[in-house]
Structure 1
Amino acid sequence: MFKIQRRAICALLLFAGLAPVHFASASNAVPEGPVRFVAPFVPGGTADVLARTIGQRLGSKYHRTFVVENKPGMGGNLGAAAVAQSKPDGSTLLLGTIGIHSTHSIYPKLQYNPDKDIQPIVILGGVPCVVAVNPSRPFHNLKELIAYAKANPGKLTFGSAGTGSSTHMVGELFQQAAGIKLTHVPYKGSAQAMNDLMGGQIDMMFELLTTATPFVTSGKIRGLAVTSKNRFTLLPNLPTVSEAAVPGFEGLGWFTVATASGVSKEIVAQYNKDINEILREPDLQKTWEGLALQIIGGSAEDARRYVASETVKWKKVIQTANIKSE
């Protein structure tokens, strides 16, 4: 089953032109030599594809190799810790997520302090989720699912990419908004969870559109709604959660490029400028659309403010649900 997903991801990578690159330096601010780009989840997910896309384009600008390293675990915090503890010279980057920047309080014994040891360079954008169920389950719309969940508290299981990940937190936000109780089953990445959803070992997921869309369109899972404010072009027939059952609901996963807090303002500013340019490159717009990425961009200071605001939002969800690491 995973091979199907990898083919879909590979198609996106090929479309973006992601071949190995070795180019000459375009900036004196960024240090010479190879750059390690940590994607803190297993290969094949949205974070992995974003890291490879951004890394390839930065490599072409700086005339050097960007090596993507997958380091999953602890909702992305295992990989983030490696970046936090790296040499603060800009030679190590992180593909950041909600789990790293805003829901790390779930893990009280981390080997680093995400608030102090990691700094966001830029917010890449947000990605909606699909509320999806195994096709054998008797839910054909969101109201049916909610009615069943209310009558059977805790019986339905939902998988995620890990505790504190966006696919977990959007599920928690949905439960609180809908007034239901589901049972969370964390995995080490969405690919494993998706395989179990298709196999019927779990009932449902709140999976990012990027990885869920091929399985919804092929009928391997049943999409009930999307978690964005508006319907999404990749799955135009799916209503929003707000339309279908929970007015006003919105829940997005979002992604950053980040680095160690000790990296200089000059290097951060250079990366920020060049990544913003990459986000606007005309030949990548269809790639972003295929990834369901709603571009945000902006300055490093904008990124810090965004992270701070989102941390307040998700802290309330964590406290209300009394979420702790397993």
Structure 2
Amino acid sequence: MKPSRRAALLVAAAGIALSPFASAFAQGAARFPDHPIRIVVPFPPGGSVDPLARLISQEMSKTFNQQVVVDNRPGGNTVIGTDYAAKAPADGYTLLLTASSHVTNPQLVPTNYDALKDFVPVATVSTADMILVTNPSVPAHNLKELLALAKAKPGALNFSSAGSGNPNHLAGELMNMMAGVKTTHVPYKGGAPAIQDLVGGQVQFSFGSPIIVLPFIKAGKLNALAVTSPQRMAILPNVPTMAESGLPGYEVRIWYAMLAPANTPKDVVAKIGNEVNRIMALPEMKEKLDAAGMEKFTMPSDKFAQQMKVDMEKFGKIIKEANVKLD
């Protein structure tokens, strides 16, 4: 047999042998998923991320006709669960539902993963803004008056947070930096105890999540001075933004998003992302977000990848300049 004919036969045989595999690869998204999916949540049950994950998993299970399991892996300031997800196979069957602390924690604790390079955005889920609240005993009815008190007595005003490096801690430090004032941070182990001591008068102000502070605002036990969002909150239309109150450019928003290990096939990522976007657009989901003081957050994956980078730089600057350390 001539060499050219032999080579042609070998190529043809290889094509026949490989065609099922090529076909399977091409149909990856069409066949996905064919076994259960795991959504890793690097936070303990409860809180704000866990309920979101469970709502999404329930709807996703119906659409995909596969079990979608929520896997809580808290610890290490979210590093334990995030590291697990980063090292999972990049096949779409292990996902990470996390918060904006994803880009700040690596600047506070050592990690074995790169928060940006080791993940690809699947879908944005929601955002939550914070409310600057004071104990009624504080003689300040707006941000301007609070900052005047802080300037008159540097370090005398104490503000509580859910822990060092937490978004409500960084919100306070950003206010200090932009206004040129000094207030004292008092970290707590969680948002609830931080607000309880504010109500009790042990600290003077805090940047609290709506789901925690709204009941106290309505009961007259806390005063709302401003919100950290770029626009006023629908639930508090008479409370101005921090920017409106004298700190133009001030904005701190907590985002929640689904990520996948880097190199997960693009068509699989798109299929999951489309499903998450469909779920978040459901009327009942809007009701649940409203009740928790959250809003639906929709941003194309490529733009969100850039947003994560921007947030990492923004909050990294705060962490460095304020010399933020974990408790």
TM-score range, shorter chain: 0.7 to 0.9
Partner of 2:96 in structure 1?
Answer: 94
Alignment of 1:1-326 (within 5 A): 28-33=31-36, 35-100=37-102, 102-326=103-327
Structure 2 distance, partners of 1:313, 1:322, is 14
In 1: Cα distance, 2:140 partner to 2:74 partner: 32
CA RMSD of aligned residues (A): 2.7
Q: Name the stretch that deviates more: 159-168 or 229-238.
A: 159-168
TM-score, length basis structure 2: 0.79
**Preserved contact between residue 75 and residue 163 of structure 1 (Cα < 8 Å):** no
Residue 152 and residue 76 in structure 1: after superposition, are their counterparts in 2 closer, same or farther (change >3 A)? farther
1:272 deviates by 0.9
Deviations 1:266-318 (A, max 9, x none): 33222111111122223322333333333332333232122122223222322
SS of residue in 2 equivalent to 1:116: coil
Higher Cα Rg, which structure:
2
> Secondary structure of the equivalent of 1:322?
coil
Letter paired with 1:254 = W
Aligned equivalents of 1:96 and 1:52: distance in 2?
13
Distance in 1 (CA, whole Å) between partners of 2:265 and 2:164 is 32
Q: Check whether the contact 2:228–2:241 (CA below 8 A) recurs between aligned residues.
A: yes
Does the 8 A contact of 1:46 with 1:211 survive in 2?
Answer: no
Please, which runs of 5 or more residues in structure 1 have no aligned partner?
A: 1-25
> In structure 2, the residue corresponding to 1:239 is in which secondary structure?
coil
**Percent same amino acid at aligned positions?**
36
Q: What's the secondary structure of 2:171's corresponding residue?
A: helix
Matched AA of 1:29: F
Amino acid at match of 2:35: E
- Measured after TM superposition, the shift of residue 41 of structure 1 is 3.2
Kindly indicate whether the alpha-carbon contact (under 8 Å) linking 1:161 and 1:193 is maintained by their aligned counterparts in 2.
yes
Q: Which amino acid aligns with 2:155?
A: G
Kept in 1: contact 2:134–2:204 (CA 8 A): yes
Query: In 1, Cα distance between the equivalents of 2:44 and 2:159?
Result: 19
Structure 2 CA distance for partners of 1:282 and 1:190, relative to 1, 3 Å: same
Change (3 A) 1:135 1:149: same
Residue 135 of structure 1 aligns to a residue in which SS? coil
CA contact (8 A) 2:116 2:309 kept: no
Matched length: 299
Relative to 1, partners in 2 of residues 1:320 and 1:270: Cα closer, same or farther, differing over 3 Å?
same
Gaps of 5+ in 2: 1-28
SS in 1 for 2:243: helix
Q: Distance in 2 between matches of 1:92 and 1:201?
A: 43
